[in-house]
Structure 1
Amino acid sequence: MAATTQRFYPIGAPGQPWGAAEKAEWHARQRVQRNYAADVLTVIDRMRERFDVRQYGELDYGQDGKYPLFAVRSRDWDDALPVMLVTGGVHGYETSGVHGALQFLDQRAGDYAGKANLLVAPCVSPWGYERIHRWNADAIDPNRSFRENSPAQESAALVQLVAPIRDKAAMHIDLHETTDSDETEFRPALATRDGNPFEPGEIPDGFYLVDDTENPQPAFQQAVIEAVAKVTHIAPADANGEIIGSPVVAEGIIRYPFKPLGLCAGVTNARYTTTTEVYPDSPRATPQQCNDAQVAAVRAAIDYALAHG
């Protein structure tokens, strides 16, 4: 297995976790492949007439530059209304998480004026977005770092942003993708970073959701699955009845313990929480279809939370 890991990710020594030198070598390999300001910030800027746009932090990655972090809020925020939180781009390489959140804001967020307070952070990890990577510049996965005293700047900034609505949020949907590069790049890198052997897995073909083991909401998850199924196909279980190594509890639904793992979807105490997983590498899905699936998931999640309190 060690040889397999090295073939995929030849940094460091087999079985030895990375130190500062290996992380520096990994960092030096990363290249900017797209532009956060052009792709994301210009879109957010065009929304200022309709929404409150607020900077909630700034990443400082030295020679790599600084990245302002923005959230979009309902213009007429009303403390009497339920709060709905939408996050995207926690893993910067998961494209439809970012652009799905932006599309929802542009096309459908207005539907909820006077019904709910919306708080949307479309691109939590802009450094990762530009380099199409899962980690941040310090080789840390933000989506294992949503806790107090977080080692990830991205996660710490979002924790601070949502602190005022932590106990007020009714729903939080975190928009993600599962890609073929998880198996060819990111899981091998993770194994190598941590000094573990790489054990190949299987990428599911289709959309699925991650529910919270400690706060399961099966009817809520099912409502989201039903809405997305009208847009794109739902991932089937593998031969072991699993998706990415977790038992399938209902069509297209698995469970993780959000808060213990430091996942973004556990950043509030909302009753209704979920993580979407779009599969952009499927021959049966286009990039626009992936964005549309994220929008359908957000709308279904908000609608269910509004209907069921």
Structure 2
Amino acid sequence: MKDFIYHIGTVGTPWGEAEKQQWLSEQQIKRSYKDEVVTPLQQFLPDTAELLNYGTLDYSAFHLPVYELFAVRSKNWQADKPIVLVTGGVHGYETSGVQGALKFIKEQFSHYSTKVNLLVLPCISPWGYETINRWNPKAVDPNRSFGAESQSEEASLAMAFVRQHQGEVLVHIDLHETTDSDNSEFRPAKAARDGTVNHNWNIPDGFYLVGDTDKPEAGFQRAIIEAVQKVTHIAEADEEGCLIGEKLAQFGVVNYPKRALGLCGGMTDAKFVTTTEVYPDSPKASPEQCNAAQVAVICAGVDYALA
């Protein structure tokens, strides 16, 4: 597997402001958050849901847009029901994370809102969505920023909003993708930014999950894998028994210490936690399958937790 040396910075030296500015100057708007996320939310919002603005990302200091952030919440919120949290677009470039959350809202929200209190944040990083990017404009990864000293407004605003809701968060499903651009762009850029050496891993061909090392809940993960198998194929471990450099915990599942790493999946005390990893670059998976796989995860996860 070929390792790429990134074109910005000096190998072994972390980026300063000049390198971050150079990186930012190369980013371009490639699609519309308003057209692809906000407008659909407004158009197909179920009667059982309410659309809430939970914050504003003001990047005008970078000569970039101001983004309004939206969540969809059960209109009939009941204190005696558990909370199911769904997050998408923490990494804005991971398209089915956002579009899968929208598809769930449109097709399944009303069904599950009779059973649980639903809270869906479909696109936590709108600038990342528009520029098809992993970071925010400050070259910060929101999905390493869900902790006490967050450097990401995207993460801080999401955490503050979720904390406003009283009740037990039973399930948290964070919707992601693993793409070929992880090796061609994002991992080399991270190594350059941090002044470290990048070693690419094999991109798994297929869907997999990242559970939480501290609460793996193997049965929960297995139920989700079985549901997704009906929609798209599951990634096989590589010759070293790994996915993305991590030893397989069970078929289609690796575990990370989510809270310690500042991952979105670690921001609550939910018993049942998982992060999806869809592979949109597979010749065996269409965008429609990728979105459907994300929906299958949410449904299967909630069904298991309630059973």
**If the TM-score is normalised by the length of the shorter chain, which range does it land in?**
over 0.9
Q: Is the 8 A contact 2:14 2:195 kept in 1?
A: yes
Alignment partner, residue 227 of structure 2: 227
Instruction: Provide the C-alpha distance between the structure 1 equivalents of 2:92 and 2:14, rounded to a whole number of angstroms.
Output: 24
Query: Per the alignment, in what secondary structure is the counterpart of residue 176 of structure 2?
Result: strand
How far off its partner does 1:172 sit? 0.2
What amino acid sits opposite 2:65 in the alignment?
Answer: G
How far off its partner does 1:108 sit? 0.8
The count of aligned residue pairs is: 304
Residues 1:201 and 1:57: Cα distance change in structure 2 (over 3 Å): same
What amino acid sits opposite 2:57 in the alignment?
Answer: L
How far off its partner does 1:200 sit? 2.2
Return the match for 2:33 from 33, 36, 40: 36
Alignment partner, residue 76 of structure 1: 76
Matches within 5 A, 1:173-212: 173-212=173-212
Instruction: Provide the C-alpha distance between the structure 1 equivalents of 2:102 and 2:15, rounded to a whole number of angstroms.
Output: 36
TM-score (norm 1): 0.96
Alignment partner, residue 58 of structure 1: 56
Query: Per the alignment, in what secondary structure is the counterpart of residue 46 of structure 1?
Result: helix
Alignment partner, residue 266 of structure 1: 266
Residues 1:240 and 1:256: Cα distance change in structure 2 (over 3 Å): same
Query: Per the alignment, in what secondary structure is the counterpart of residue 129 of structure 1?
Result: helix
Q: Encode CA deviations 1:4-25: one digit per residue, 9 max, x unaligned.
A: 543xx21111110001110000
Instruction: Provide the C-alpha distance between the structure 2 equivalents of 1:166 and 1:160, rounded to a whole number of angstroms.
Output: 12
Task: Give the ranges of 4+ consecutive aligned residues of structure 1 lying more than 2 Å apart after TM superposition.
Answer: 3-6, 164-167
Instruction: Provide the C-alpha distance between the structure 2 equivalents of 1:160 and 1:137, rounded to a whole number of angstroms.
Output: 21
Alignment partner, residue 160 of structure 2: 160
Query: Structure 2: where are the runs of 5+ without partners?
Result: none
What amino acid sits opposite 2:25 in the alignment?
Answer: A
How far off its partner does 1:71 sit? 0.3
Q: Is the 8 A contact 1:191 1:197 kept in 2?
A: yes
Alignment partner, residue 277 of structure 1: 277
Instruction: Provide the C-alpha distance between the structure 2 equivalents of 1:245 and 1:90, rounded to a whole number of angstroms.
Output: 21
Instruction: Provide the C-alpha distance between the structure 2 equivalents of 1:11 and 1:67, rounded to a whole number of angstroms.
Output: 28
Query: Per the alignment, in what secondary structure is the counterpart of residue 226 of structure 1?
Result: helix
Instruction: Provide the C-alpha distance between the structure 2 equivalents of 1:121 and 1:109, rounded to a whole number of angstroms.
Output: 13
What amino acid sits opposite 1:41 in the alignment?
Answer: V
Query: Per the alignment, in what secondary structure is the counterpart of residue 23 of structure 2?
Result: helix
Alignment partner, residue 249 of structure 2: 249
Q: Is the 8 A contact 2:46 2:110 kept in 1?
A: no
Alignment partner, residue 292 of structure 1: 292
How far off its partner does 1:216 sit? 1.4
Instruction: Provide the C-alpha distance between the structure 2 equivalents of 1:305 and 1:4, rounded to a whole number of angstroms.
Output: 41
Matches within 5 A, 1:44-193: 44-48=41-45, 50=47, 51-62=49-60, 63-165=63-165, 168-193=168-193
Instruction: Provide the C-alpha distance between the structure 1 equivalents of 2:138 and 2:226, rounded to a whole number of angstroms.
Output: 38
How far off its partner does 1:47 sit? 3.8
What amino acid sits opposite 1:40 in the alignment?
Answer: V
How far off its partner does 1:36 sit? 0.2
Alignment partner, residue 26 of structure 1: 23
What amino acid sits opposite 1:24 in the alignment?
Answer: Q
How far off its partner does 1:178 sit? 0.1
Instruction: Provide the C-alpha distance between the structure 2 equivalents of 1:132 and 1:84, rounded to a whole number of angstroms.
Output: 27
Q: Encode CA deviations 1:28-76: one digit per residue, 9 max, x unaligned.
A: 0000000000000001112446211101111111111111100000111
Q: Encode CA deviations 1:177-227: one digit per residue, 9 max, x unaligned.
A: 000000100001011111111212110000000010011110000000000
Are 2:299 and 1:302 aligned?
Answer: no
Q: Is the 8 A contact 1:167 1:268 kept in 2?
A: no
What amino acid sits opposite 2:35 in the alignment?
Answer: A
Instruction: Provide the C-alpha distance between the structure 2 equivalents of 1:4 and 1:222, rounded to a whole number of angstroms.
Output: 33
Instruction: Provide the C-alpha distance between the structure 1 equivalents of 2:52 and 2:44, rounded to a whole number of angstroms.
Output: 11
Query: Per the alignment, in what secondary structure is the counterpart of residue 64 of structure 1?
Result: coil
Q: Is the 8 A contact 2:146 2:262 kept in 1?
A: yes
How far off its partner does 1:148 sit? 2.1
Q: Is the 8 A contact 1:167 1:269 kept in 2?
A: no
Instruction: Provide the C-alpha distance between the structure 1 equivalents of 2:151 and 2:296, rounded to a whole number of angstroms.
Output: 33
What amino acid sits opposite 2:86 in the alignment?
Answer: V
